[in-house]
Chain A
Amino acid sequence: MLQISWLIPLFPLLSFILLLIFRKSRSEGTAWIGVLLTGISLVLSVGIWLAVWQGDEIKTEGTWFHIGERAITMGFEVNPLNALMLVIVSLVSFLVHLYSKGYMHGDERFPVFFAYLGLFSFAMLGLVLSPNLLQLYMFWELVGLGSFLLIGFYYYKPEAKKAAKKAFIMTRIGDVGLFIGMVLLFWQVGSFEYDDIFASVQNGEISSGMLTLTALCIFVGAIGKSGQLPLHTWLPDAMEGPTPVSALIHAATMVAAGVYLVAAMYPLFQASETALTVVAVVGGVTAIFAASIGLMQKDIKRVLAYSTVSQLGYMMLALGASGYVAGIFHLTTHAFFKALLFLAAGSVIHAVHTQNIEEMGGLWKKLRLTGLLFLIGALAISGFPLLSGFFSKDEILASTYADGRYGLFWLAVVAAFMTAFYMFRLFFLVFTGKPRGNQSKVHESPSVMTLPMIVLGVLAVVAGYLNTTWFGTFLSDYLAKGPVELPHGDHHGPGWIPIVATAASLLGIGLAYLIYQKETLSRSWLSRMFPGLSHIIYNKWYVDEGYDATFVKGTKGLSKLGVLFDRYVVDGLVASVTAGVQGLAKAGSRLQNGQVQSYGTAAIFGLVILLLIVALTGGYFS
């Protein structure tokens, strides 16, 4: 079974080629090419996953080319970690293909969209199957290219064009780090193979300084791809792409590639305490930072984008805190519930034709199914008990606590509270209350769109049971079979951690409820229901003001601070770099004034400087 796993990426590639050939076709039946072919990939992936679950593994390689004496290899590898990734990627890709059939209805470049989806899926699956860093890097770039094309799909919108370029360039900044780290490792180890690298690390053949340097370089690549601080600003802008793209690329797959990279190279990170700490701190700070910004956003997709950044921060935090299983676990559950949330958001946008939540409201009755599924997603991401997010987030908190990173632990708890708050702010503003915008002809999406959402909805509920202390730690047993030696078993932190996590979640939901939902509750209705509580209800304003003064003002202030930080510090840094480059470009152009005399002068001047330096350093005058 495993020998054929290299076929998995080829089906989406075939879809890409076929759809490019049929790109002029006006028939929307072309979508079925993509759906069918990614469906085959999905079936194969699941089969392979089951085989790996039984304990199978494979690695096949051949020589690709030579640099001097050294052979560079190419091949594929299946192990527990990437078999799981295969399933996640092909599943979400398949569902998004199906969903797009409905969502992109009427678009004049319908087949092209599916072609790009195929290209992206091919690259992502290829990335996951890579047995060495160089091959991973190549697919890594190809994935970026697919993302570039898909974000810029609505190229007639200037914002989309800008966002596509921004995403490409910003993630490339991270890639520079990855590339340098990779080549440095090659010269230490003599190979790009994961296995060879791990063996060298284990045998202590690499100096500790070099270990930290290479691990950090590789982490820079992960920061770019996974939208971590300070390279996160491209991700919210990438929301200019079609919504199914956001679900596929910017929620479940490509942005998770950074986390996957760290996980795949985990033994390298484990060997350097400094590198792990950097990963944990960057992850933790990103988690709370992005969550705080999410509190203030008015665009439904932007809230979800910041939420994605924040959740990826959680995964990094977990990996940095030796919570290997926790990080992968959260990656899995997040892929399901975040894809669900994006698809549900897409369904809402499809119905009301706006992304501004201020113009929505009261959609619960009109979009029953979407509303219900969105609620499931929101509960899952908020860490509501018994849903998937609850278990994976709990695992992360436990790992962080067990690793002795108490500061980051409390940061993560506060971020969990914020997550619950902004998700339910979103939910209440969109689905409850009175319609605030023009909502004529709002109707539920077709079943080709709701079906994928239902599948994801079910997974968002049950995926958490992959790894629980109650029924069994299936996932960590499964991952333990992989090449990575798990740090210190399971993290059964103190029993109070789930309680704190639940409290944070419920507090967030409750607060959102009081603020955004209270308008629908008249005071009289409440006092009739709970006569005994009337004086508290009487004090509702008081409490509200109290909340307003503390939580709301506090969170608002924090969020503002986040936005300000984002705008002035991060953008300022980026802007100053840009300005520097532009200034240099200007100076270069000015020097190039078209006067051939000045060219000669510049050349002689340059030569004289060189000779002067020789004379001064060469000791001619001494």
Chain B
Amino acid sequence: MDLDTLLSFEWGVMAPEFIILGVATLLSIIDLFMKRESSRKPLAWMAGAGVLAALVSIFLQLDHEVTSILYDTYRLDSFSKAFKILLLLGTLLVLVLASNYKKEDLEENRGEFYYLLLAALLGAMMMASSADLITLFVGLELLSLASYIMAGLERKNKRSNESAFKYVVSGGIATAITLFGMSYVFGLTGETNLFKIAENMGEVELLKHGFLLVFAFIITFAGLTFKIAAAPLHMWAPDVYEGAPVPVTAFLSVVSKIAGFVIMLRFIIITFIAAAGIDGDPLLLQVQPYIMALAAATMIIGNVTALRQRNIKRMFAYSSIAQAGYILVPFVSNSSLLFELIWFYLLAYLFMNIGAFTVIQLLTSQERSNDVSVFRGLYRRSPWLAVPMTFFLLSLAGIPVTAGFIGKFGIFMGALGLQPAHYWLAAVMMATTLVSYVYYFNIIAIMFFRDEEEAKVSVPPGMAAVLAFCTASILILGVMPDLALDFFYGNFDVNEFFMRIEDEVHTHTH
């Protein structure tokens, strides 16, 4: 690649990534020159400002047409914009949590946390924009490696160390499986570019190997379930969530999970949409029962096992496994609503889960315990914490007037709407939702139906802002979901997702 080609790319489309990369680099340098004992809070503000700037740059790109640079490895399309907004929004809220995290162990190395977080975010954003197996994988690994370190950031805490170690080992297994599956795809099609893979999928020669393709699909899919914490690669989540610092847990359960869905959608939908499986039948139809089984297993394992948890972080780990199961349901029905259903649910999930983790962080750090009893009598002690928490739980449970209800409602409609309707999957979803009421409502009962004269919980202004923002978003999206849906329809065109840009080098000037 000569300099002319390099300069001919429209680099402006990568503005959000560049901003994050720049801020992360800047932070690491500043951190180096900061005194050991001085507070790292300014770094948090700078990181936050960087994320906000990236968010603004995406909004400025909303009208930008589909563009692809770097030999079609990086794409700016509706899909990447829509999901990057989620990733950035989630990271922004996690940053507030992190800057208010009070633990002596963490104090000395907090600086690292902020730029690791940004590095992880950068990996996730690259995944949203990738159109090539190699860059997808690099993005995935960037996110993973940064996350591994973050999980073990409390160096003197054994649990945190254990958490990081398990995360690395499980992550290694998942990466191996994913790569193994991808190698089949590459071997069969001879391409790494997603669109070229899709093109080659139609070749007659490949029809004979439909069976191998189904194999490749299932192996890759199973490997990718790691990031979203769904079966069969879900078991790391409870241990890692439990040991990691709360802001990291929030990051893993929200931002990292969104990134997991992003790579699933990118890789699976583009490459396999027209692929033929065994006997030449459509592959996506053929693997439906397997995705269905995994979705059902995830919902059942998550919700049922959550019943027995006394540790609040473990309970939320299983809860987040269950939520991943719900979001897998649209993959099965694979309707035209796929993108909007998943996008809306993830948006709602972002608010309700980060909101819940905000309350969890405040309570667990004040009480120095992770037991569910930290919630006892919260309504009497701090009603301004108990009421938002109630809304988050109601939303997670999918009770009307919350965003969670609309999200679940949409998924449910999708599951029953297309022929053939997936009655069993819908029934499993409803039944496990019912089971989830038991543990979500248990927390509500502990908050409201227990009288305990305990100290009030002090809420720093940043945390209060996150709580207010998340609560308001959940309620507004629950009452007026069209605010988000209209934004989605108005700015994003799902067809762009499949739009292949033929030219390898673009010289658009705008």
Contact = CB atoms under 8 A, between A and B. Distances in A.
Contact of A152 (B165, B279, B294, B448): B448
B290 A610 contact: yes
B400 A138 contact: yes
B173 interface: yes
Contacts of B211: 614, 618, 620
A585 B305 contact: yes
B219 A611 contact: yes
A609 B332 CA distance: 19
A588 B237 CA distance: 14
Given A176-B430, A614-B215, A64 B482 contact: yes
State the majority secondary structure of interface residues on B: helix
25 contacts: A65-B482, A66-B482, A66-B489, A68-B336, A134-B409, A137-B400, A138-B405, A172-B434, A172-B437, A176-B434, A180-B416, A183-B426, A582-B307, A582-B308, A589-B308, A591-B235, A592-B238, A596-B170, A596-B239, A599-B166, A603-B233, A604-B177, A605-B232, A613-B290, A620-B211
A594 interface: yes
B304 A585 contact: yes
B206 interface: no
A330 to B, nearest CB: 30
A606 B223 CA distance: 11
B435 A67 contact: no
B142 interface: no
B236 interface: yes
Contact of B438 (A67, A161, A169): A169
Given A596-B236, A606-B231, A614-B215, 20 more contacts: A65-B485, A134-B409, A142-B401, A148-B441, A176-B430, A183-B413, A187-B413, A581-B304, A582-B307, A585-B305, A596-B165, A602-B232, A603-B173, A603-B174, A603-B232, A603-B235, A606-B222, A607-B177, A618-B214, A619-B279
A145 interface: yes
Interface string A404-428: 0000000000000000000000000
Nearest to B279: A619
A179 interface: yes
A26 to B, nearest CB: 16
A584 interface: yes
B207 interface: no
A485 B236 CA distance: 59
B138 interface: no
Nearest to B226: A603
A171 to B, nearest CB: 11
Contacts of A65: 406, 480-482, 485
Interface in B104-154: none
Nearest to A139: B400
A603 B172 CA distance: 12
Interface in A130-180: 134, 137-139, 141-142, 145, 148-149, 152, 155-156, 161, 164-165, 168-169, 172-173, 176, 179-180
The 4 closest A-B pairs by CB, nearest first: A606-B232, A155-B449, A138-B400, A588-B305
A600 interface: yes
A184 interface: yes
Contacts of B441: 148, 165, 168-169
Contact of A611 (B215, B239, B337, B481): B215
Interface of A: 63-68, 134, 137-139, 141-142, 145, 148-149, 152, 155-156, 161, 164-165, 168-169, 172-173, 176, 179-180, 183-184, 186-187, 581-582, 584-586, 588-589, 591-592, 594, 596, 599-600, 602-607, 610-611, 613-614, 618-620
B219 A607 contact: yes
B304 A588 contact: yes
A152 B448 CA distance: 9
Contacts of A180: 416, 426-427, 430
Nearest to B482: A65
Contacts of A145: 399
A148 B437 CA distance: 13
Contacts, number: 157
B430 A67 contact: no
Contacts of A141: 399-400
A379 B72 CA distance: 84
Interface in B14-32: none
Contact of B445 (A137, A164, A605, A620): A164
A142 B400 contact: yes
> Which of B170, B307, B399, B449 has most chain A Cβ within 10 Å?
B449
B461 to A, nearest CB: 23
B304 A152 contact: no
Interface string B387-427: 00000000000011100011001101100110001000011
A179 B449 contact: no
Contacts of A152: 445, 448-449
A173 B417 contact: no
A618 B209 CA distance: 12
Interface residues of B, number: 68
Contacts of B239: 592, 594, 596
Contacts of A619: 278-279
Interface string B430-455: 11011101100110010011110000
A186 B414 CA distance: 11
A607 B435 contact: no
A83 B401 CA distance: 25
B274 interface: no
B207 to A, nearest CB: 14
B218 interface: yes
> Which of B165, B405, B409 has most chain A Cβ within 10 Å?
B409
A602 B235 CA distance: 8
Interface string B151-188: 00000000000000110011001100100000000000
Contacts of A64: 481-482
Contacts of A607: 177, 218-219, 222, 232
A333 B144 CA distance: 66
B233 A592 contact: no
Contact of B278 (A184, A589, A618): A618
Nearest to A599: B235
A66 to B, nearest CB: 6
Interface string B258-281: 000000000000000000001100
Nearest to B399: A141
Contact of B300 (A156, A161, A186, A584): A584
Given A152-B445, A600-B169, A592 B450 contact: no
Nearest to A162: B445
A78 to B, nearest CB: 22
B451 to A, nearest CB: 6
B494 to A, nearest CB: 11
B197 interface: no
A141 B489 CA distance: 30
B301 interface: yes
A586 B489 CA distance: 45
B235 A592 contact: yes
Given A172-B437, A585-B305, A592-B238, A138 B173 contact: no
Interface in B196-251: 211, 214-215, 218-219, 222, 231-233, 235-236, 238-239
B406 A155 contact: no
B309 to A, nearest CB: 8
Interface in B446-468: 448-451
Nearest to B426: A180
A599 B236 contact: yes
A604 B223 CA distance: 10
Contacts of B427: 180
A161 B377 CA distance: 13
B23 to A, nearest CB: 34
Nearest to B177: A607
A66 B410 CA distance: 10
B413 A67 contact: yes
A589 B305 contact: yes
Given A142-B400, A599-B236, A155 B448 contact: yes
Given A592-B235, A618-B278, A67 B305 contact: no
